[in-house]
Structure 1
Amino acid sequence: MKGGKTIRVTLLSYLFIITNGNDLRSIKERENTSHIFSYQQANNTIQMEDGDAYDCIDMDLQPAFNHPLLKDHKIQMEPSSFPARLDIKSGLQHTFSEVQPCIVPCPIGTVPILRNSRRNQIVAHNIEEVISEGTQQEMAGIRYYWDDIYGTRATISIHEPRVKKNNKDDSASWIQINRGPQVGLADGIGVGSAVSLSSSGDSFTRFYVGWQLGALNETCENHKCPGFVQVNHNVGLGGRIRPVSIYNGPQYVINVLIFKDPKTKNWWVAYGENNTPIGYWPSSLFTYLKERGHRAYWGGYVQGPTASLDSPQMGSGHFASEGYKKAAFMKNIQIVDENNKLVTPNNNKAHPGSSVLSKYTVDGYRVDNHGLHVYYGGPGDLV
């Protein structure tokens, strides 16, 4: 497949990593002083070698429980079960190494919260996210829709795409599940890697989880606002992923899995070949995703005030046609069906493509018993 067909879509219901730029959104907050979170609640602070600082917070005091819908939520410490058939082998016969999210040595019973991604205090608030008409988005990957989706997994190659300094654009490699009656009014959950200078203050690739509550008009990532309940005491959301793949050199990947717990209905995130649980979105948060999703996305995207006019790199920064060791890829893409089994997505419902072929492409799309496989990305305007 050369380049893939051109597609124009509104990505708000698919892609929702949020930056901190005031020109991108306005946030109205209603403080609740009975739920104020401060550094004083940290058991201890871990200074990482790369300069990040994590506070180890008691699990039941993490920001998630500032959300009014989670007032009486009881923490689920582990999934009741995992999707079946997780012992798949590589669908692409290439050599690569698995990496993992940032590991923080917090004690059991606490969770690491990235200090330098937060205000001095996190308050319970009612967020009204308004994305301005000036926000620009481009994508290259696989859109998938009108199927019953109870989870998805993928192996994602890790890169550090170049994003120009002093702007507010993001570049991400991402898997996502959505459901809702229309674009702009949909619930969504996702996980992946991203370079976001406006969010992290640097150009490193970092690990993100993100979600969108369409009925409440809320969008967030990691622990920047209430919603995601973390149970893993070592994984640092928002932390660096390293090493990253080298052009025509060693390739590094991360395995990620989102799945719905068949008993509690909570949506879990796990990583690695051993599917280590990180945490979950409680089903009570959602209006449309309580039972299942019906759309998914796998691939790369760029988003921000100049993402179309002065586009950053996506993936490795090289076109998909360059193939292995040069282009970014996702492989072993599967979905979870109603029987809690990982299966290959329906090829008739998968639509690989790019929103702007002169900047980003897809190639090498194929389907086998291991799932979907695709190369994607490109230089944007940074040729």
Structure 2
Amino acid sequence: MDTPSRGRIHWEKTEETCFCFDFRRRQEEGKCTKQKQKQTDLFGRTQVHTRMHFTFNFHFLPIISSCVIFLLFFPAISDAQFEDFRRLNQSFRPGEESKKIRLIRTHLMKINKPAVKTIQSPDGDILDCVMAHHQPAFDHPVLKGTKPLDPPERPYGYHQAGMESENYQLWSLSGESCPEGTIPIRRTTEQDILRANSIKRFGRKIVKPVRRDSSSGGHEHAVGYVSGDQYYGAKASINVWDPKVKDRFEFSLSQMWVISGSFGDDLNTIEAGWQVSPELYGDNYPRFFTYWTTDAYQATGCYNLLCSGFVQTNNRIAIGAAISPTSSYNGGQFDISLLIWKDPKHGNWWLEFGSGVLVGYWPASLFTHLRDHASMVQFGGEVVNSQASGSHTSTEMGSGHFSGEGFGKASYFRNMQVVDWDNSLIPLSNLKVLADNPNCYDIRGGINNVWGNYIYYGGPGKNPRCT
């Protein structure tokens, strides 16, 4: 067969044994026809979609009825999605299977709000345009009955170079947009939740220590940070890549952390950047994301808008949507600017993405320590090293290349600043850098007249020095 070219579709038919289970756990061997559809996506990567067609002996009507229910739930599924259902089938007794599906659908009704308009993204996402006052944030007990606030003044020293094009998210290439008074929310599906360890943990980070003096919980970092003062925000530009993530339960991200509290149960963080997370999103696109917690990732906070908390005010940016374009090795570089700062009037923490585009805010009432100020700010990368193959993962951080390769090859943060007590943007003082495992991912910092404070960071993971 010819090598697939971009946009062409190829079909292959194979026959193999498959099984269905009725509610009494009987099984019958049958034949299934699997049709594979291969198509090259916008990034030039081949994606495979599989359709399953089942044929059974008509003497086993109870078994067939169970299979029909399965096909109604999943009329066309990919190999990965079929594996999700297979794991669910094996892990739970039949009565528990239907109970879990009911719980999933109840949770989806909670986070997928009624839409006044729906937009299909070229990458397969569905964006729902939801009335701003109906967004998940206002399900939070301390926010019920409130409405989105008006934007505050930017910090002093803020220079806007002019509005950039907002076509740096794939869904905007559809030519559609959400009406004024609404916000775009990426629709969550049953398959999204099935990929998670549990409904309770869906959309949340793995509970882990957050100390930066050693690798912990399989999470490895390469970060620049400042501490020892009172911080009221941070700003930087980050170049965007599409690093390879080896295992579906690993991720690679680049972000800013605004931190307060101890590195124990009372840790408060506000986070924003880009990430590749097959478990959370079901693909390998780099996506704009946010996160927050007020108890060290235990029971509060979540990614994006997957729980109540962050209040979105913008109808043109979708949190959790894919970013396009991305940087290329020894080629063009594409970066995004992020600004997080505390509104001196109301105390809320606002987020700007791009140049002059306000996304929304984290209400001060969500937090304990961050109601006042931050005690640390971090910039850099993080990966999960699950060691699924028995050795260090080959999941890449940033560009997948070490910091020493420099511009056009390594990942960077540039024009790194913090916001002081007077709501002024100022350069970093006493920037420190730290890599948990420098043989796998490293970092180096610097300063010049063009980029101000900057860092290069990243790496390939597994290599002769990282095993």
Unaligned runs of 5+ in 1: 1-19, 23-29, 90-96
Query: Do the aligned partners of 2:274 and 2:287 also contact (CA within 8 Å) in 1?
Result: yes
Residue among 86, 106, 112 paired with 2:184: 112
Q: Residues of 2 paired with 1:294 and 1:132: CA distance?
A: 20
Show the 5 A alignment for 1:1-383.
Answer: 37=110, 41-76=114-149, 78-87=150-159, 100-101=168-169, 103=172, 105-116=177-188, 131=207, 135-165=217-247, 167-214=248-295, 217-273=299-355, 275-303=356-384, 305-306=386-387, 309-347=392-430, 350-366=431-447, 371-381=452-462
Structure with bigger strand share is 1
C-alpha displacement of 1:129: 7.7
Q: Residues of 2 paired with 1:319 and 1:242: CA distance?
A: 23
Query: Do the aligned partners of 1:169 and 1:306 also contact (CA within 8 Å) in 2?
Result: no
Code of the residue aligned with 2:392 in structure 1: it is: L
Q: Residues of 2 paired with 1:334 and 1:149: CA distance?
A: 10
Query: Do the aligned partners of 1:83 and 1:340 also contact (CA within 8 Å) in 2?
Result: yes
Structure with bigger helix share is 2
C-alpha displacement of 1:101: 4.3
Corresponding position of 1:16: none
Corresponding position of 2:80: none
Do the aligned partners of residues 252 and 132 (structure 1) sit closer, same or farther apart at CA in structure 2, a change above 3 Å counting?
Answer: closer
C-alpha displacement of 1:144: 1.9
Question: Secondary structure of the residue that 2:238 maps to in structure 1?
Answer: strand
Unaligned runs of 5+ in 2: 1-83, 89-102, 194-199, 210-215
Higher CA-based Rg? 2
Q: Residues of 2 paired with 1:269 and 1:339: CA distance?
A: 18
Q: Residues of 2 paired with 1:54 and 1:208: CA distance?
A: 15
The RMSD of aligned alpha carbons is: 3.3
Question: Secondary structure of the residue that 1:188 maps to in structure 2?
Answer: strand
Q: Which has the higher contact order (CA 8 A, sep 6+)?
A: 1
Query: Do the aligned partners of 1:141 and 1:352 also contact (CA within 8 Å) in 2?
Result: yes
Do the aligned partners of residues 234 and 281 (structure 1) sit closer, same or farther apart at CA in structure 2, a change above 3 Å counting?
Answer: same
Query: Do the aligned partners of 2:328 and 2:408 also contact (CA within 8 Å) in 1?
Result: yes
Question: Secondary structure of the residue that 1:218 maps to in structure 2?
Answer: coil
Query: Do the aligned partners of 1:323 and 1:364 also contact (CA within 8 Å) in 2?
Result: no
C-alpha displacement of 1:361: 1.1
C-alpha displacement of 1:69: 2.2
TM-score, normalised with respect to structure 1: 0.80
The answer to which of 364-373 and 79-88 deviates more is 364-373
Query: Do the aligned partners of 1:98 and 1:254 also contact (CA within 8 Å) in 2?
Result: no
Cα deviation digits, residues 296-346 of structure 1 (max 9, x gap)? 110111136449832510000000000010000000000001111100121
Cα deviation digits, residues 168-205 of structure 1 (max 9, x gap)? 11100101101013434211001100000000000110
C-alpha displacement of 1:364: 4.5
Count, aligned residues:
342
